[in-house]
Structure 1
Amino acid sequence: MRTVFGVVRQIQSLVGRLPIVGGSEAASGAQVRPLAAGRRPLLGDGLGEQRRGGARLDQVDGTTCGSAVLIALTAWADPAETLRLDGEQRGGSAAGSGGAGTAVTSGARAGVAAGFGARYNARQREVHRESTRFWPQALGTTPWGMVRWLRRNAPAAGPYRVRFVDDVSAADLEPALDAARAALTAGRPVPMLVGQPLAPRHYVMALGVLDDGQWRVYEPTSGHVKALDLRLVRERRLARVLGFDRLHALFLPI
């Protein structure tokens, strides 16, 4: 059974309106430039639970998975986002011991001020309001709300586009995965929308490719970075890792 966005993708194909198809899509991802060094991301380089300032980096409620992903992507691209969450609006003396490019696996080492958890939760709610301005907040964030928020509020991340995926069609799925892999190899995170066949439900974010080809994926419900075997995407059995079985869309950097 095709997903809702898989049907959209199939219709686009039938009427000849696919924006990018086949090998050209993968090639476009390979041309994506990595962003500058000296970043101060929220998420660490390894697998497992992500914590900062004594708080787990999970979504604040059942509707803010998209907001958690947007914050993580913004922080990856712009150290000012992390500085604000850490309570260092202007990068004061607490940040001086580590520097802007220092790993952030330890809140104390990064100079995180008290109250990080409250600031992080408040920031999620703020981003949720901003990204659902024309949509009921109780229904979460739409794909268009995600890319619009990034364009307006996170220019350092660069523009992204929504790439619907027909996950029952290898001819459509494989070029989409190739394009995402190219972006990840270039150092660019790739948000993903997963869900049930008739309902896209949950945002996660691919962060990189492991040596064995699995993807490192941030899952905000648990606040963990997990290893995703792409075989599960192809077999439509994502729930064991990401909570829902079906891939609806990828968000690719332009």
Structure 2
Amino acid sequence: MTPTSTRLTAARLTAVQLTSALRALRGRSVPCVQSAAGHEPAAAVLARSSRPAADLVRARAVRAGLAPDGAAELAGRVARLTDREAWQVVEPLRPAPGADVLRFGTAAARQVDETSCGAAVLAMLAAQADPALALWLVTGEHVGEEPAALDGVAPVSSGPQGRLAALQAALHVRGTRRALLGALPWPTALGTPPWGAARVATEVCAGGLGVAYRSVMVDDTRPDEVRAVLARARRSLAHGVPVPLYTGGDTSHGLAAAVPRHVVLLTGADAAGLRLYEPSTGRELVLPEEAVLDGGVPRAAYGGWSHVCWALLPVRRA
């Protein structure tokens, strides 16, 4: 072992994450249940034509719970959009060809402040689950009944950026409501806790994705546990079901860094690695799967943090 690797190993041994300590007390945290199977097979999201076919738009709308008339209306409205906007409605988690920033209209899909990363991820999950919500984000138009994700959203008239900000604000409140001991509000200044995010993700994704989400701690100093989480995530991604991850640091940068600090979203997986939506930049980034097993290294895909410490895993609804 070289002097450099010896120093790195020693540093990791003295750096502690909150989830590592909790895992030592609670034991295994990755549930031994089958991951959710979702609706869309992997082959359905590999190729992209110049614009989405009307049948694809209607199928996505029906799966999200729109009645046939509403699905037909949504398809008609999408047909009037530009190619890029049409794909933003149908596949909001894929950037335009040649780009890496996710957008609604011309607005980058970024978190609106330093505490809303979790809300930004929930907003993107909700848009993926419901093309009617994605249409509202792009155009401000409503089709059918109001999407579940818009519950509590203040009226806005300031374009896609304003609508996305209003949606994030409402989801932030929903994710922190009753999140402390199941009765009291979680301080919004601390972001959205994993268990609150899992509850809201289940609420807004129940129709279009057909799954519930369960929050589980991840200790990335345990390779077997990380591999189990990644295997579960890959099965979900193969069926079009995204997976939120919480990232953070460790005590080598102080106690405040050792707790979950940021939220990103696994959106796909292929031979190049894992694709992630990173909300502080709004970008899609690619991370080799092996990098997730090598915790302790700051990564752009983690929002600059160095560990994966929590996951929201999709499970089949009862």
TM-score by length of 2: 0.65
After superposition, where does 1:202-213 map in structure 2 within 5 Å? 202-212=262-272
Alpha-carbon deviations, 1:179-235, whole Å to 9, x = none?
1111112221000000112121000000011233x1110000001000011222111
After superposition, where does 1:24-35 map in structure 2 within 5 Å? 28-29=34-35, 32-35=37-40
For residues 238 and 186 of structure 1, what CA distance do their matches in structure 2 show? 29
Secondary structure, counterpart of 2:143 in structure 1: coil
Give the one of 147, 159, 167 matched to 1:123. Answer: 167
| Residue pair 1:193, 1:249 contacting (<8 A) in 2 also | yes
Displaced runs of 4 or more, over 4 A: none
| Residue pair 1:41, 1:77 contacting (<8 A) in 2 also | no
**In the alignment, is residue 249 of structure 1 matched against residue 310 of structure 2?**
yes
Structure 2: which amino acid aligns with 1:225? E
**In the alignment, is residue 54 of structure 1 matched against residue 106 of structure 2?**
yes
| Residue pair 1:232, 1:238 contacting (<8 A) in 2 also | no
Give the one of 234, 241, 244 matched to 2:293. Answer: 234
Alpha-carbon deviations, 1:41-80, whole Å to 9, x = none?
4222566112222211100000100011001001111112
| Residue pair 1:205, 1:219 contacting (<8 A) in 2 also | yes
After superposition, where does 1:155-170 map in structure 2 within 5 Å? 155-156=206-207, 157=209, 158-170=211-223
| Residue pair 2:30, 2:216 contacting (<8 A) in 1 also | no
Aligned to 2:193: 142
**In the alignment, is residue 3 of structure 1 matched against residue 17 of structure 2?**
yes
* Cα distance, 1:20–1:120 mapped onto 2, change above 3 Å: closer
For residues 189 and 229 of structure 1, what CA distance do their matches in structure 2 show? 17
Aligned to 2:70: none
| Residue pair 1:41, 1:72 contacting (<8 A) in 2 also | no
**In the alignment, is residue 44 of structure 1 matched against residue 94 of structure 2?**
yes
Give the C-alpha shift of residue 84 in structure 1. 2.4
Aligned to 2:143: 90
Alpha-carbon deviations, 1:102-122, whole Å to 9, x = none?
xxxxxxxxxxx9711111111
For residues 141 and 118 of structure 1, what CA distance do their matches in structure 2 show? 21
| Number of aligned positions between the proteins | 223
Aligned to 2:260: 200
Structure 1: which amino acid aligns with 2:293? R
Could you tell me which runs of 5 or more consecutive residues in structure 1 were left unpaired when the two chains were aligned: 92-112
Percent identity over the alignment? 33
Secondary structure, counterpart of 2:246 in structure 1: strand
Could you tell me which runs of 5 or more consecutive residues in structure 2 were left unpaired when the two chains were aligned: 1-14, 42-58, 62-89, 145-156, 178-184, 251-257
Q: Which gives a bigger RCO, structure 1 or 2 (Cα 8 Å, sep 6+)?
A: 1
* Cα distance, 1:44–1:32 mapped onto 2, change above 3 Å: same
Q: Greater CA deviation, 1-10 or 187-196?
A: 1-10
